Amino acid sequence: MVSRVIPVDPFDLVIFGGTGDLARRKILPGLFRRFRAGQMDAESRVIGAARSDLDVDGYRAMVREAIAEFDPASARDSEALEAFLGRLGYVVVDAMGETGWDDLEREVNSDRIRAFYFSVGPRLFGELAERLHKHGMADHDSRIVVEKPFGRDLESAKALNATLAQHFHEHQIYRIDHYLGKETVQNLMAVRFGNTLFEPLWNSQYVDHIQITVAESVGVGGRGEYYDRAGAVRDMMQNHLMQLLCLIAMEPPAKFEPDPVRDEKLKVIRALDPVEPGDVVRGQYEASSDAPGYNEQVENQGSTTESFVALKAHVSNWRWAGTPFYLRTGKRLKARASEIAVVFKDAPHSIFGAEAGRHANILTIRLQPNEGIELGVTIKEPGPGGMRLIDVPLDMTFAEALGPDDADFPDAYERLIMDVIRGNQTLFMRDDEVEEAWAWTDPMIAEWEARGEPPLPYASGSSGPDEALALIHRDGRHWREIKP
Ligand code: NAD
């Protein structure tokens, strides 16, 4: 099966922070893949804009190196790479001052779609919006892409929304959450709303509970300074995990279009009960024999920032009353593994007797690694010996089911950037969604800050603190194993 690639209209994409880590690792290699796939029009341009004192040749050399490092397989297509590098421009720009803005204005072509990717630190988001406006680049058709973190609490998120709104309309603002660009996450919606099989069962009558795990095996690394001011709730829970929760829990939108989808997600966040203090476990990883502990990687040695959080959430509406959502995320855990598991209730009565065993159906949506969807189905264990039941997976791993061509999916960033050019905001967060998400996490954070309780230590390479296991055990349930 070969994917259909629909080219987008010609565009000029300016990447503020075009020399930074995110641009080099994700944005530029992603754009190159879209270029190779024929999705990026041959006239379109990508313009790096950053403080580094480079000329366009220097920038091209930097991008060539970045693509060779982060996507060596694509970089081997040297003809395409040279053609792509030919589409690059570079302007030295200071977001905080006047340097370079006139040059940038000359560089972007007003006949094409203009998109400005804010891949810089969050303190510059407002400055960039203001200067784009001042220099006449905030016309009705231009778009801005805003990276995370979008604020650090409700108040700062509101202030940032207000600043952006002074210069751009909401339909021009693309708040990126790359989890929403993942193939599987969109497939979750296809599975839910494209089949009659699941939706009738998608409620508290049939679903026992839902687990969302986003586990990382790495520590804070070089991001210690930012991370220590944020922590797992601000860095991951408020955005990525909540977005996943929304997609799992939302009512069917009337259409797969930006506002119908985002309206339904917003209703989920508004239906969330405040989290009980006893339903949250915070942790911080300790040193291991071969890696430093959290406290050795951040400047503040006595830091009480959490690198792990697990919590139980309740969506208080007709569909989900009585079905808990268990969410956890953390660093330096057993493996890099992210999944959503919808755990259905046991069959109401076993006709096979206790010795046959009972198994709940589990629908697993794996985000990484090996993106795919798997449904655990109970069957008879083959062979003689009576009726014993076992679980077998109906595996919908994309690479296996669809063949190698389709397994070469655009990665989340490239898909989302193409959506920006198409003007499709379905997979981007709206202002009210972001604010409501902070309104839910703020009281939780304020509560533990007021208590001043430090996070619980956990061993590197573990599943987090034992108390996180107890959080779900006490309800007679257990976490799924974190495995690569
Ligand atoms: P980085 O520090 O590697 O790069 C910052 C970039 O901003 C550089 O190109 C620098 O030249 C430019 N810059 C800094 N000050 C400037 C100024 N005054 N005017 C113009 N340009 C200026 O940062 P990064 O890791 O690439 O992150 C960029 C943004 O993306 C941040 O908001 C970060 O939170 C977000 N983000 C990054 C990652 C990641 O994996 N790196 C993941 C998710 C979100």
> What domains appear along the chain, each with residue ranges and CATH number?
11-147 (3.40.50.720), 180-473 (3.30.360.10)
Half-sphere exposure of 369 (CA within 13 A, CB side): 6
pLDDT confidence of residue 350: 83
Q: Which residues are annotated as a binding site?
A: 17-24, 51, 148, 178, 182, 216, 235, 331
Instruction: Give dist(CA 68, CA 82) in Å, integer.
Output: 12
Amino acid at 358: R
Poorest-pLDDT segment among 24-33, 44-53, 357-366: 357-366
Tokens at residue 169, please?
């309309």
Is the bond leading into 292 cis (omega within 30 degrees of zero)? no
Mean pLDDT computed over every residue of the chain: 93
Average pLDDT over residues 351-364: 84
Q: pLDDT by residue (tens digit) across 136-145?
A: 999 888 999 9
Residue 406 reports pLDDT greater than 80: no
pLDDT confidence of residue 26: 96
The protein residue with its alpha carbon nearest to ligand 1, atom 21, reads: 50
Q: pLDDT by residue (tens digit) across 46-74?
A: 999 999 999 999 999 999 999 999 999 99
Residue 383 reports pLDDT greater than 90: no
pLDDT confidence of residue 400: 61
Residue 332 Cβ contacting ligand 1 at under 6 Å: no
Average pLDDT over residues 434-444: 98
pLDDT confidence of residue 402: 59
Residue 32 reports pLDDT greater than 90: yes
For residue 185, CA distances in Å to 179, 257, 367, 372 come to 7, 16, 7, 9
The protein residue with its alpha carbon nearest to ligand 1, atom 39, reads: 22
The protein residue with its alpha carbon nearest to ligand 1, atom 42, reads: 22
Instruction: Give dist(CA 415, CA 417) in Å, integer.
Output: 6
Torsion, Cα of 101, 102, 104, 108 (10° steps): 140
pLDDT above 90 covers a percentage of the chain that reads 79
For residue 253, CA distances in Å to 94, 241, 303 come to 42, 20, 43
Q: What's the 222 CA to ligand 1 centre distance in angstroms?
A: 13
Contact 471, 279 (CB under 8 A): yes
Q: What's the 436 CA to ligand 1 centre distance in angstroms?
A: 26
Higher pLDDT, 409 or 424: 424
- The most distant pair of C-alpha atoms in the chain lies apart, rounded to whole Å, by 81
Residue 223 Cβ contacting ligand 1 at under 6 Å: no
Residue 116 reports pLDDT greater than 80: yes
Average pLDDT over residues 309-334: 98
Q: Is the dihedral of CA 105, 108, 111, 113 positive or negative?
A: negative
Q: H or E stretch including 459?
A: none
Instruction: Give dist(CA 426, CA 244) in Å, integer.
Output: 14
Half-sphere exposure of 439 (CA within 13 A, CB side): 14
Contact 135, 105 (CB under 8 A): yes
Q: Which atom of ligand 1 is nearest to the CA of 50?
A: 21
pLDDT confidence of residue 408: 61
Q: pLDDT by residue (tens digit) across 202-247?
A: 999 999 999 999 999 999 988 899 999 999 999 999 999 999 999 9
Starting from the edge strand earliest in sequence, which strands make up the sheet with 88-92, in order? 88-92, 45-50, 11-16, 113-118, 143-146, 173-175
pLDDT confidence of residue 399: 57
Q: How far apart are the first and last CA of the chain?
A: 28
Q: Scanning the structure block, which residue is given the tokens 């202002």?
A: 431
Residue 94 Cβ contacting ligand 1 at under 6 Å: yes
Q: Kindly calculate the radius of gyration of the chain based on its CA atoms and give it in whole angstroms.
A: 24
Using DSSP, state whether 310 is helix, strand or coil.
strand
Torsion, Cα of 260, 261, 265, 267 (10° steps): 20
Residue 21 reports pLDDT greater than 70: yes
